[in-house]
Chains A and B, each alone.
Chain A
Amino acid sequence: MKEKEAAAGASLWRLVAAAVLILAALAVLPRFVDPYQTVLLTYGLIMAIAALGFNLLLGYTALLSFGHSAYFGAGAYAVAFMMRDLGVQSMEVFIIGGMLGTLAIAALFGFVCVRHTRIFFGILTLALSQVLWSLAFKFFWFSGGTDGIRVGYANLNLLAGLIDFKGPGSYQRFVFSYYYYILALFALATVIMWVIVHSPFGKALQAIRDNETRARFVGISVRRYRWIAFMISGVFTGLAGILWVPLNGLTTPDILYWPFSGEIVFMTVLGGFRTFAGPIVGAVAFNYLKTYAVASTEYWQLLLGAVLVALIMLLPAGIVGTAARLWSKLARRA
């Protein structure tokens, strides 16, 4: 028993060391690459938060949501409304307000959706996300319709007004400081998610995933656990939407439309949804993949679709899952 604990402790330290190394590498990166790469990486890290949240449902609870665009979009629109109608400028207020708004929607939608599993869960999440999309699309006098709502970075301040972006050269300053802001939040979100999936609550979710009947016999109230997981998942994805919108400068109904939910699923599968780090790697990789596909060909969707199909056929474990398997094979041979 002692030995086991010691081994677990050692592997935890190894994990912490690796995480610190990766964070340090990410922190010095903007010194060496041009601002465009910094912006790309910022997008990647934001999507990583969304995919982490999404994977709490897919990877740990075995619920495939095809409607996570709803929470991403809810976060983004919440920021846009707060900026336009309430004149809010503080990013921290946006984050708190946006997360509360997303939580409300995720709680409502989740309450409905967790009554089902498998294919019906997917269709229900999709249908509900499309309700939000059609509202954003049709109530143009409030939501801006397909034109969307502008969210300018110049109206923004970080850290309770400590950093603002007025005056000349502000875009460079925004790119630089926003990257570190996102990096810190990404690290925090990752740690929180790690704690959640390794907590008794996370273990209960995995028990439900592996055998619902047994989990119920053990005394887990399956539906309530799924609902809570749904809310956490929605809020994480909502946070990503909140952080995304100042960087993008605009929010449109596209991020509420269901193909965007498909993209979130895509990046998670790309990284590998059976692992904790999979969605993070997948989101960053997907972001680069999509950016370069869009830049290099008009038919980028064709390219991405082919990648997705090939991935499912050949590497269903995703990048991280496949790498882990190769690694363990090599380690055994050595």
Chain B
Amino acid sequence: MTILIIQILNSFFYAAVLFLIASGLSLIYGVMRIVNLAHGTLYALGAYVSAWIVGSALGHAFNSTLGLFGLLLLLPIGAFAIAAVGAFVEPTLLRPLYSRPEEYHLLVTFGLLMILDDVMKLLFGGTPLSAGSIMDSVGSIRIAGLLYPLYNFFVIIIGLVAAVGLWWFIYRTKFGIILRATSQDRRMASALGLNVSRIYIQAFAIGCFMAGLGGAVVVPAQAAVLGMGIDALILAFVVVVIGGLGSLEGALVGALIVSLVRTAGIQFFPEIELAVLYLIAAVVLLVRPTGLFGRA
């Protein structure tokens, strides 16, 4: 019973991180019709940047002055850095290609993935980078005799806040209306006087921010390692395929399904845990190509 509770908590933790990554992927696809293969790598980059900032803050003995709260406030810097990367990448690499077939979009983001992968190696080296001291100082609670890190609850709450925040942002603000209008009809939006290029930069930067935030919140719990982005991308794909590409609710439900299946898989059928996830994605694409929440 205790194990069950812990496993459910773990899967909520994974779901929160996966939702952050997948919602960014989905938002970018929804607005710009671009499947960003570099999205997972941006998540990894966010993790590296956050871990590096926290690490160097600790290294300069700011610990006493910053305190735990200060360190937690340092984490989102990674996410903002990734948003900046996105704001740079969209006008330089993606904008020239909008008139071309979508194969080129996939390819250019694949090129970006290769570049960013090595940029990370160049900047941060091959050794894993961790911000575990945050997790340690947050402490843990006892759940029926087993210690469980409190930090995981923090991540779950961030995930929930992000979900509500994004929903409010997209469905309740003027910018959200503009975003949705642009995603439905780019030319009409432009004809109505909206600056579509600026909206595209903003949408892409927000999508990247979500990926970076995912990396930033995960890095106190799991060290940033090379290759984590490529794994994460595929899981995020599975999430958005199940939930529906371009749908926010879909990303949330998809993240929950994937993380529950994954946790159950690790417990009961570890060898085919990943295969089952990919097969679920394939089956969803076959039966309901738009996903559970997608519109055609």
Is there an interface contact between A124 and B274, defined as CB atoms closer than 8 Å?
no
For B113, list chain A residues within 8 Å (CB).
Answer: 262, 305
Is there an interface contact between B110 and A265, defined as CB atoms closer than 8 Å?
yes
For B282, list chain A residues within 8 Å (CB).
Answer: 112, 124, 127-128, 131
For B106, list chain A residues within 8 Å (CB).
Answer: 64, 66, 119, 122
Q: Is B91 an interface residue (CB 8 A)?
A: no
C-alpha spacing A116/B241, complex, angstroms: 13
For B103, list chain A residues within 8 Å (CB).
Answer: 58, 64
C-alpha spacing A213/B161, complex, angstroms: 46
C-alpha spacing A58/B107, complex, angstroms: 13
For A312, list chain B residues within 8 Å (CB).
Answer: 97, 104, 107-108, 111
Is there an interface contact between B118 and A124, defined as CB atoms closer than 8 Å?
no
Is there an interface contact between B102 and A119, defined as CB atoms closer than 8 Å?
yes
Given A259-B230, A308-B107, A301 contacting B96 (CB threshold 8 A): no
C-alpha spacing A249/B96, complex, angstroms: 43
User: Which of A13-21, A134-142, A169-177, A198-206 lies on the face that meets chain B?
Assistant: A134-142
Q: Is B112 an interface residue (CB 8 A)?
A: yes
Is there an interface contact between A305 and B114, defined as CB atoms closer than 8 Å?
yes
Docked complex: B100-129 residues within 8 A CB-CB of A: 100, 102-104, 106-108, 110-119, 121-122
Contact of B121 among A64, A116, A119, A299 (CB under 8 A): A299
Given A127-B282, A131-B279, A302-B119, A308 contacting B111 (CB threshold 8 A): yes
- B108 and chain A: residue at smallest CB distance: A312
Q: Is A258 an interface residue (CB 8 A)?
A: yes
C-alpha spacing A138/B275, complex, angstroms: 9
Given A116-B289, A120-B289, A305-B111, A127 contacting B122 (CB threshold 8 A): no
Q: Is A309 an interface residue (CB 8 A)?
A: yes
Q: Is B286 an interface residue (CB 8 A)?
A: yes
Is there an interface contact between A130 and B274, defined as CB atoms closer than 8 Å?
yes
Q: Is B272 an interface residue (CB 8 A)?
A: yes
Is there an interface contact between B114 and A138, defined as CB atoms closer than 8 Å?
no
Is there an interface contact between B281 and A127, defined as CB atoms closer than 8 Å?
yes
Is there an interface contact between B234 and A130, defined as CB atoms closer than 8 Å?
yes
- A297 and chain B: residue at smallest CB distance: B118
Given A116-B285, A123-B237, A130 contacting B278 (CB threshold 8 A): yes
**DSSP majority for the B interface?**
helix
For chain A, give the interface size range.
35 or more
For A30, list chain B residues within 8 Å (CB).
Answer: none
Q: Is B79 an interface residue (CB 8 A)?
A: no
Q: Is A315 an interface residue (CB 8 A)?
A: no
Q: From B37, B112, B114, name the one whose CB has the most chain A CB atoms within 10 angstroms.
A: B114
User: Shortest Cβ distance from B19 into chain A, in angstroms?
Assistant: 19
Q: Is A186 an interface residue (CB 8 A)?
A: no
Q: Is A22 an interface residue (CB 8 A)?
A: no
Contact of A306 among B110, B111, B237 (CB under 8 A): B111
Is there an interface contact between B104 and A266, defined as CB atoms closer than 8 Å?
no
Is there an interface contact between B237 and A118, defined as CB atoms closer than 8 Å?
no
User: Shortest Cβ distance from A4 into chain B, in angstroms?
Assistant: 32
**Bitwise interface map of B from 10 to 32 toward A, beta carbon under 8 Å scored 1, else 0:** 00000000000000000000000
C-alpha spacing A231/B84, complex, angstroms: 43
Given A112-B286, A123-B35, A134-B275, A302 contacting B118 (CB threshold 8 A): yes
Contact of B272 among A124, A138, A299, A306 (CB under 8 A): A138
Is there an interface contact between A301 and B114, defined as CB atoms closer than 8 Å?
yes
**Bitwise interface map of B from 214 to 236 toward A, beta carbon under 8 Å scored 1, else 0:** 00000000000000001000100
C-alpha spacing A138/B278, complex, angstroms: 14
C-alpha spacing A64/B35, complex, angstroms: 13
User: Shortest Cβ distance from A249 into chain B, in angstroms?
Assistant: 24
C-alpha spacing A148/B139, complex, angstroms: 41
Q: Is B238 an interface residue (CB 8 A)?
A: yes
For B118, list chain A residues within 8 Å (CB).
Answer: 299-302, 305
Q: Is A304 an interface residue (CB 8 A)?
A: yes
Q: Is B93 an interface residue (CB 8 A)?
A: yes
C-alpha spacing A135/B279, complex, angstroms: 12
User: Shortest Cβ distance from B190 into chain A, in angstroms?
Assistant: 23
For B289, list chain A residues within 8 Å (CB).
Answer: 115-116, 120
Is there an interface contact between B115 and A306, defined as CB atoms closer than 8 Å?
yes
Is there an interface contact between A302 and B122, defined as CB atoms closer than 8 Å?
yes
Q: Is A126 an interface residue (CB 8 A)?
A: yes
User: Shortest Cβ distance from B263 into chain A, in angstroms?
Assistant: 16
- A135 and chain B: residue at smallest CB distance: B275
Contact of B111 among A119, A135, A309, A316 (CB under 8 A): A309
Q: Is A95 an interface residue (CB 8 A)?
A: no
Is there an interface contact between B274 and A308, defined as CB atoms closer than 8 Å?
no
- B109 and chain A: residue at smallest CB distance: A309
**Bitwise interface map of B from 252 to 296 toward A, beta carbon under 8 Å scored 1, else 0:** 000000000000000000111111001101100110010000000
6 A-B residue pairs with Cβ-Cβ distance under 8 Å, sorted by A, are A64-B106, A116-B289, A138-B272, A301-B114, A302-B115, A309-B93
Chain A interface (Cβ within 8 Å of chain B)? 58, 64, 66, 112, 115-116, 118-120, 122-124, 126-128, 130-131, 134-135, 137-139, 257-259, 262, 265-266, 269, 298-302, 304-306, 308-309, 312-313, 316
Q: Which 8 A/B pairs are nearest by Cβ-Cβ distance?
A: A305-B114, A134-B274, A302-B118, A308-B111, A305-B115, A309-B111, A301-B118, A299-B118
